[in-house]
Amino acid sequence: AVYRIVAIDVQSRREGRDLRKVGFYDPIKNQSYLNVPAILYFLEKGAQPTGTVRDILKKAEVFK
């Protein structure tokens, strides 16, 4: 399975419409694509990553 990493509005349901797709993660192939500028933009605007996404971002060294 490939998981999409998306930014969603806090007032939306988890399965709601996403604001923007910012990456994907494939745990079987251990591959990921992250749009780092978009991720940093949403984090600066107050976005809160889930624990799993936070771990993916740490592994990709987005957080220094």
For the chain, domains (ranges, CATH) are: 3-59 (3.30.1320.10)
Question: Does residue 16 register a pLDDT over 70?
Answer: no
> Which tens digit of pLDDT belongs to each residue from 25-64?
999 999 999 999 999 999 999 999 999 999 999 999 988 6
Question: Does residue 15 register a pLDDT over 80?
Answer: no
Question: Both tokens of residue 48?
Answer: 């809160």
Cβ pair 6, 25 in contact under 8 A: no
Between residues 13 and 48, the one the model is more confident about? 48
Cβ pair 43, 23 in contact under 8 A: no
pTM of the complete model: 0.82
Question: Both tokens of residue 38?
Answer: 């978009």
What gap in Å lies between CA 8 and CA 13, rounded to an integer?
8
Cβ pair 36, 49 in contact under 8 A: no
